[in-house]
Copies of this chain bind each other. A is one copy, B any other.
Amino acid sequence: MRKNQLNWMIGGPQGSGINASAEVFARSCSRAGLRVYATFDYHSNIMGKHSFYRVRVADEDLRSFRDPVDVLVALDEETLTGDGHHRRWATHFGHLHEVSPGGGVVFDTEAGFDPATSDRKDIKFFPIPLMELIKTALTEIGKGGQFRAYEIMKNTVALGASLALCDYPFASLESVIADQFKAKRFDEIRGLNVRAARLAFDYVRDHFNIKDFPYQLGPGPDAKARILAKGFEIIGIAKLKAGCAFQTYYPISPATDESVFLEKQQRAQNLLVVQCEDEISSINMAVGAAHTGVRASTATSGPGFALMVEGIGFASITEAPGPVVTLYQRGGPSTGMPTRQEQGDLLLTLHPAQGDFPHLVTAPGDLRESYQDTFSAFNWAVYTTIDKLELKYDKIERGKLYHPGDFTDPQFKGPHDGFTAQNGHQTTQYGGAEKEYLRYALTPDGISPRSRPGQDGGRFWTTSDEHEPSGHITEGVDMRIEMMRKRMGKLDLALKLIPEDQQLGLWGPADADLTVVSWGSPKGTILDAIKVLEAEGKKVNFLQCRLMRPFPARRVGEILRKAKKVVLVEENYSGQLGQVIATETGFMIQERVLKFDGRPFSEDEMVKALSNVLAGGKAEAVVTVVR
């Protein structure tokens, strides 16, 4: 019997509402004092293709998901056995193979699946007549005849059934379902959903022997519900708090969600969100706005970023104060795998345009860091005028619910980074004729005082050509040298200004037998895996690279050269961080655990891969086990 340690999964066709019910479940658990980690897997398609949502629940903090599924909820047959019989090259083989021995499978009796055909004799099958139950609920309010129109409720019903297995208190679920349909106009729907879920709950208790079902779920130790945030929400909030006044975007998976989230805040928060005609427009509009005195930002993914590179060079040579570019990585190359995840864009972000120019690249590893780095980005842009400032986030995609401790405090406002209202938009004020203003004045630290259009006496010129302090074009040798040094010198300045803990993280024992090196979202999985290994008596630590440009080469080099054994972990084909580390430190990491199938690492994969390396094995690419 495992209490409060559950790996739950719901699968079904896109459009069948599985994400809604998974999120209801997650929220319910959180409110019940449990901790939750969730991920969503879906195709780049609107309707009908297989998607699934994992929710992992426990009493203590979680930062990753696991491979075994203790309770699988299947709305269709494909979820169980895959699409091999529809397609010449199967995309997947269903999730039955993932179910933990002793685990349970809740499925629709209408799905056309016969458990007898399965070779998984070690798991329990719970066929549930989902439509029947919906019909019953409808009949109770005299609408039995219309039941086909309510098919979408299946996911809620199946959710109810699955939780009955775990003896989860129905009341905890009920309130969240009801919340989902808070609005007055949902009065009927709300009641129906709760009722149908209840019927399913009872159906399971009535029809199956669930007494010795090995996975139990009940209220957890944490009284107050955590915030369950998706990456784009946290980044959006960080932008709001940092005083971003102008966000541009062009729709693209998975970055769109951030901008749509911000679009909804416009009225309340005095933020202007502009949907542009493409990403070239997005970046250049943001650069124009930044130069004109607002904190500006844009968000995109790989294909959109590829179109922004010209604008990034422009922002840099003109020393624009920003914009902040948020890049949500996805599976590449080219259009690639739009809704899947990969850490394949690092090298592009580091040299995103022709010539040598300064910009900043950070790669936060979790939501807390995403908040910090996004927030700081606006300040680094404004104060240091490192003027093209770019933020990179990987894999904080739409399906991820997460709840680091920081977000539990209702007063939480994020780190402030010395930032106050007075010095927000503020630019230097120039008194007209009294003093001449030069936008690109040569100063000891390379930072020129900044003006913006509309200011009295702050007129300036700016150009994407090489220029003089006045901003007029020059091709002279002297000025060229001065300006290159002025611009590039800001990278050294940034390395001094940016707090060390925003540059890198070193987690775990200093004298570890193995040092894991990684960046971005594998962080959580690595930390969870290290915990598992620690329990087995193994000493592993983790060097997290976070500031990618300028790169804290000295510290990273020191750590690596002292390490007993080093393994690189990345979700891409070519070990891009490994390449950066070699460039910056000369240290070439031999062992590389890479994954490039568009799926994130699971805790189990990570534990296995690291154990292998610890045991002296040669590190290999990790491939999601699909059958």
Contact = CB atoms under 8 A, between A and B. Distances in A.
Contacts of A348: 309, 351-354
A186 to B, nearest CB: 34
Interface string A78-95: 000000000011111000
A623 B480 CA distance: 10
Nearest to A41: B475
Interface stretch (A188-196, A327-335, A452-460, A603-611): A327-335
A269 to B, nearest CB: 31
Interface residues of A, number: 82
A596 B356 contact: yes
A357 B345 CA distance: 11
Contacts of A301: 354
Contacts of A573: 356, 484, 488
Most buried by B among A469, A477, A579: A477
A316 B44 CA distance: 21
B303 A310 contact: yes
A477 B598 CA distance: 8
Contacts of A322: none
Contacts of A479: 89, 91
Interface of A is mostly: loop
A497 interface: no
A88 B475 contact: no
Q: How many copies does the complex hold?
A: 2
A355 B340 contact: no
A110 interface: no
A47 interface: no
A197 to B, nearest CB: 31
Contact of A335 (B309, B335, B465): B465
B351 A351 contact: yes
Contacts of A171: none
Contacts of A579: 583
A622 to B, nearest CB: 10
6 contacts: A89-B476, A302-B354, A317-B336, A333-B354, A336-B355, A480-B598
